[in-house]
């Protein structure tokens, strides 16, 4: 990381057990403090803080304060489990009763036990439990909490589930800790796409000059850049923009198929970046999107490609 984070984001993690308590009917005790520290905050390379700090090139630094396990008074699992907004409201109200000051936090993670419940982002907050399919679910939920719109395609964590994820070693903090059947927590996601960063992160967008038709642009592979510069080419089109980025199987993108990835922004009825094409990184590969032809002109190195937009 070569740049100081430009925006520190304080997040409060509220941990509550339903008033009906942990029934003991499932072999899943509430996770201990050490597990939460590893998942959210520790500098272990895969925590939610590390992931988002790295994938935004230091622009977003999540600072988590993790509260103690408490009881969610007057809240039964069967009454609230299917209503994310009601869960968040109940947890925020309980925090006030418990004397937890929330005023300094722009976001709240309502972590409830036991699962299942209606988990996911509801900007500016999020509901989580101990039943994620993989770590990727938590990573995507943080994106939704931060206001990153759901996109499409296999080259963004805000897109489709469990595509291009890859395994990480089971951390020591989880030794002997049971997980629910079907949960493979130790799989992490590919990066946030450059198109999504461009759409939602002004500090990143400010580093991206717009390209003109017939202009040659060299793009550095997203996962191999230390500062995020020159990692996306953007061409204005009628109703929006077309973006091009280069993805290689390195770092957080270890599970992706290397490709020159084309997205559109604002062209289709998609809230986030809309995946259009994945071109092989070879000279002559091309695609036409929103009336603009994207063509690979050269591959000057393993970590970069040169493209051109034409009509």
In a domain, 2, yes or no: no
3-class secondary structure, 86: helix
In a domain, 1, yes or no: no
- What b/e string do you get for 4-25 counting C-beta neighbours within 10 Å, with b at 16 or more? ebeeebebbbbbbbbeeeeeee
Per-residue confidence of the chain (311 residues) as pLDDT tens digits? 445 557 999 999 999 999 876 555 455 789 999 999 999 999 999 999 999 999 999 999 999 999 999 999 988 888 898 999 999 999 999 999 999 999 999 999 999 998 989 999 888 999 999 998 889 999 999 999 999 988 878 999 998 766 788 899 888 888 888 788 778 889 899 999 999 999 999 999 999 999 999 999 999 999 999 899 999 999 999 999 999 999 999 999 999 999 999 999 999 888 889 999 999 999 999 999 999 999 999 999 999 999 999 98
Residues 151 and 92 in one domain: yes
Residues 184 and 201 in one domain: no
**Count: domains in the chain:** 2
Residues 47 and 121 in one domain: yes
Residues 21 and 153 in one domain: yes
Give the bridge partners for 109, in sequence order.
Answer: 13, 126
In a domain, 115, yes or no: yes
Among 188, 211, 236, the domain boundary falls at 188
Residues 154 and 291 in one domain: no
Residues 132 and 214 in one domain: no
**Is-contact 241 294, C-beta < 8 A?**
no
3-class secondary structure, 30: coil
Give the bridge partners for 69, in sequence order.
Answer: 15
Vertex 67: Cα angle to 23 and 106 (nearest 5): 120
* Packed helices 48-55 and 33-40: angle between N→C axes, nearest 10 degrees: 0
What lies within 8 Å, CB to CB, of 38 at 6+ separation is 44, 47, 171, 173, 174
Among 188, 207, 238, the domain boundary falls at 188
Q: Where are the alpha helices (DSSP H) in the chain?
A: 33-40, 48-55, 77-80, 84-97, 135-145, 194-200, 202-205
Residues 156 and 199 in one domain: no
How far is the C-alpha of 221 from the C-alpha of 86, rounded, in Å? 42
How far is the C-alpha of 277 from the C-alpha of 87, rounded, in Å? 39
Print the domain residue range for 49: 7-188
Tell me the whole-structure pTM to 2 decimals. 0.93
- Provide the CATH number for the domain around residue 57: 3.40.390
Residues 180 and 232 in one domain: no
Residue 111 DSSP label: E
Q: Give the strand pairing for 60-72 and 107-113.
A: unpaired
Among 188, 220, 255, the domain boundary falls at 188
Residues 34 and 108 in one domain: yes
Distances, alpha carbon 178 to alpha carbons 51, 58, 73, 175, 278, in Å? 24, 34, 27, 9, 39
How far is the C-alpha of 311 from the C-alpha of 308, rounded, in Å? 10
Residues 178 and 209 in one domain: no
In a domain, 21, yes or no: yes
Give the bridge partners for 216, in sequence order.
Answer: 308
- Which run of H or E residues covers position 3? none
In a domain, 126, yes or no: yes
């Amino acid at each position: 990381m070569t740049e100081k984070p430009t925006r520190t984001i304080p997040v409060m993690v509220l941990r509550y057990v339903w008033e009906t308590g942990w029934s003991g009917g499932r072999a899943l005790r509430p996770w201990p403090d050490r597990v939460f520290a590893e998942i959210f905050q520790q500098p272990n390379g895969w925590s939610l803080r590390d992931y988002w700090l790295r994938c935004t090139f230091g622009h977003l630094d999540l600072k988590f304060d993790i509260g103690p396990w408490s009881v969610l008074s007057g809240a039964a699992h069967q009454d609230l489990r299917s209503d994310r907004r009601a869960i968040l409201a109940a947890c925020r109200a309980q925090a006030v009763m418990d004397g937890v000051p929330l005023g300094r936090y722009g976001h709240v993670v309502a972590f409830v036990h036991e699962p299942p419940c209606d988990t996911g982002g509801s900007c500016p907050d999020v509901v989580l439990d101990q039943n994620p399919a993989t770590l990727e679910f938590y990573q995507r939920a943080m994106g939704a909490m931060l206001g990153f719109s759901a996109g499409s395609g296999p080259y963004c964590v805000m897109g489709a589930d469990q595509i291009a994820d890859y395994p990480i070693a089971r951390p020591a903090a989880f030794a002997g800790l049971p997980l629910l059947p079907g949960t493979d927590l130790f799989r992490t996601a590919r990066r946030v796409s450059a198109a999504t960063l461009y759409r939602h992160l002004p500090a990143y967008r400010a580093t991206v000059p717009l390209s003109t038709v017939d202009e040659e642009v060299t793009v550095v592979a997203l996962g191999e850049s230390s500062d995020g510069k020159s990692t996306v080419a953007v061409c204005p089109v009628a109703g929006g923009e077309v973006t091009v980025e280069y993805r290689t199987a390195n770092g957080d993108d270890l599970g992706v198929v290397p490709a020159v990835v084309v997205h559109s922004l604002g062209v289709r009825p998609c809230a986030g970046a809309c995946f259009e094409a994945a071109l092989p990184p070879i000279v002559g590969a091309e695609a036409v999107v929103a009336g603009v032809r994207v063509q690979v002109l050269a591959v000057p190195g393993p970590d970069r490609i040169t493209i051109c937009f034409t009509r």
